[in-house]
Amino acid sequence: MADYPLQVKGLNKSFGKAHIIKDMSFQLQRGQIYGFLGPNGSGKTTTIRMIVSLIKPNSGDVLIEGKSIQTDRKAALAKIGAIVEDPDLYGYLTGQQNLEHFARLSNETISKERIQEVVALVELQDAMKKKVKNYSLGMKQRLGIAVSLLHKPSVLILDEPTNGLDPKGIRDLRFYLQRLAKEDGVTLLVSSHQLNEIEMLCDRAIVIKKGEVVDEISMNESQTIEKTLTVKIEAKPVQRALDQLAPFGAVKQNGDTLELEKQSYEDIPTIISALVKENIEVFGVTYQNRLEDAYFTLTEEQEEGVS
């Protein structure tokens, strides 16, 4: 039997007459990173707020390590860490003072050694004496993660953790989260609009639409999603371009636009060089990964709602 530290069972939530979350159910395997995807208004943030007990569902339950947030709330929440929106930090305190403050607020006894452990985990040793107001966004995000890990949760939930981060900050955050899952066995649920980042970070992705789960996608093994690209090329003359692209795989034609599926990012320069070498004019090149294809197919015709 698989080990599921987080189980969401039949959650429903209404605001007035609007039924926002409709019988939402999913479960997360231990040590895996899950993306939580859906258009604005699909119910991601509402679901996360119910999971961490910030709002109550009208019906359904959340089990964290088998403990119900409805009947055993304190024990359940002791096993979960979360950052919903921006990390809740004190800018006038140093990083060290923030961690010590939140350690004192915890229901668990948190040692100085544990504080040092989480600091090392997110590699902020050199910033602990600096005031948090002088931290970069990426450093604040990492400190927020350190705070959420103080009590050794087995489940970590992050709502849009890459918002405002530069490419280096996003890459660094990805590294820390993957290390958490691999080395410490922490299970993560990460809500994001960055599909490329979810594909690089996560093992699986849960896609929701209008408050319901519409699919769960594996990044590694499912036939639904592969780590490949669809490359679209606008070129003339079209027939000669078709002939030159044939060795790269099946080509679809849509007017002057040609589509090649199952290509890698590294293939793109080779493809373009093959066309230019034969004096074929290339007017544009775009590419889309398969997660994007699957996501937009699953969430098409999304209507406005409440997030």
- pLDDT tens digits, 50-87: 999 999 999 999 999 999 999 999 999 999 999 887 77
Mean pLDDT of the chain: 86
pLDDT at position 302 is: 43
- pLDDT tens digits, 103-151: 998 888 899 999 999 999 888 999 999 999 999 988 998 999 999 999 9
pLDDT at position 1 is: 36
Q: Which of these, 153, 95, 87, 88, lies nearest to 125 by C-alpha position?
A: 95
Most confident range (mean pLDDT) of 16-20, 119-123, 288-292 is 16-20
pLDDT at position 229 is: 63
pLDDT at position 265 is: 67
Helices (H), 73-149: 73-77, 95-105, 112-121, 137-149
Lowest-pLDDT range of 54-68, 250-264, 282-296: 282-296
- pLDDT tens digits, 176-223: 899 999 999 999 999 988 888 888 899 999 999 999 998 888 876 444
Asked whether the bond before 237 is cis by omega within 30 degrees of 0, the reply is yes
pLDDT at 286 over 60: yes
Q: Decide: 158 and 187 in contact? Cβ < 8 Å.
A: no
The residue written with tokens 């293939």 in the block is 267
Sign of CA dihedral 73, 74, 76, 77: positive
Q: Give the length of the chain.
A: 307
pLDDT at 303 over 60: no
pLDDT at position 289 is: 63
Q: How far apart are CA 98 and CA 117, in angstroms?
A: 15
Domains of the chain from N-terminus onward:
6-218 (3.40.50.300), 229-296 (3.30.70)
Q: Decide: 161 and 173 in contact? Cβ < 8 Å.
A: yes
Query: What mean pLDDT comes out for the span 224-233?
Result: 61
pTM of the model: 0.74
Most confident range (mean pLDDT) of 6-10, 40-44, 251-255, 262-266 is 6-10
Terminal-to-terminal C-alpha distance of the chain? 34
Query: What mean pLDDT comes out for the span 78-97?
Result: 90
Kindly list the distances between the CA atom of residue 101 and the CA atoms of 97, 120, 153, 230, in Å, as whole numbers in the listed order. 6, 18, 18, 49
Q: Decide: 260 and 246 in contact? Cβ < 8 Å.
A: no
Query: What mean pLDDT comes out for the span 28-44?
Result: 93
Q: Taking the CB of residue 90, how many other CB atoms lie within 10 A of it?
A: 13
φ/ψ bin of 123: left (φ > 0), alpha (ψ from -120 to 50), beta (otherwise): left
- pLDDT tens digits, 267-277: 888 888 988 98
| Inter-helix orientation angle 137-149/95-105, to 10° | 30
Which residues lie across from 121 on neighbouring strands?
A: none
Q: How far apart are CA 75 and CA 143, in angstroms?
A: 24
